[in-house]
Amino acid sequence: MNTGDLGLRRVGVPSTALFTDQYELTMLQAALRAGTADRRSVFEVFTRRLPEGRRYGVVAGTGRVLEAVRNFRFDSDQLAFLRDKDIVDGPTLEWLDSYRFSGDIWGYPEGEVYFPGSPILRVEGTFAECVLLETVILSILNHDSAIAAAASRMAAAAGGRGLIEMGARRTHELSAVAAARAAYVGGFDTTSDLAAGFRYDIPTVGTSAHAFTLLHDSERDAFQAQIDSLGRGTTLLVDTYDVAEAVRTAVEIAGPELGAVRIDSGDLLLVAHRVRQQLDELGAVNTRIVVTSDLDEYAIASLAAAPVDAYGVGTQLVTGSGHPTCSMVYKIVARATSSDPLAALHPVAKKSLGGKTSIGGRKWAARRLDAEGYAEAEVIGTGPVPPELLDRQLLVELVKGGEIVAPEPLDAVRERHIAARAGLPLSAVQLSRGEPVIPTEYV
**pLDDT, tens digit (0-9, with 9 covering 90-100), for 291-326:** 999 999 999 999 999 999 999 999 999 999 999 999
Across the beta sheet with 235-237, what order do the strands follow?
Answer: 190-191, 162-165, 310-313, 288-291, 260-263, 235-237
Spatial separation of the C-alpha atoms in residues 237 and 233, rounded to whole Å: 13
* Percent of the residues in the chain that have a pLDDT greater than 90, as a whole number: 93
> Residue range 121-130: average pLDDT?
98
Q: Is the pLDDT of residue 403 over 70?
A: yes
Q: Is the pLDDT of residue 47 over 60?
A: yes
What is the pLDDT, as a whole number, of residue 12? 54
Q: Is the pLDDT of residue 7 over 50?
A: no
Q: Is the pLDDT of residue 2 over 80?
A: no
Specify whether the CB–CB gap between 417 and 152 falls below 8 A: yes
What is the pLDDT, as a whole number, of residue 356? 77
**pLDDT, tens digit (0-9, with 9 covering 90-100), for 165-203:** 999 999 999 999 999 999 999 999 999 999 999 999 999
Spatial separation of the C-alpha atoms in residues 195 and 11, rounded to whole Å: 11
**pLDDT, tens digit (0-9, with 9 covering 90-100), for 88-123:** 999 999 999 999 999 999 999 999 999 999 999 999
Spatial separation of the C-alpha atoms in residues 270 and 268, rounded to whole Å: 6
Q: How many CB atoms lie within 10 A of CB 90?
A: 8
Q: E strand or H helix at 403, and its extent?
A: strand 403-404
Q: E strand or H helix at 404, and its extent?
A: strand 403-404
Q: Is the pLDDT of residue 8 over 60?
A: no
Q: E strand or H helix at 259, and its extent?
A: none
Burial 103-123 (b: 16+ CB within 10 A, else e): bbbbbbbbbbbbbbbbbbbbb
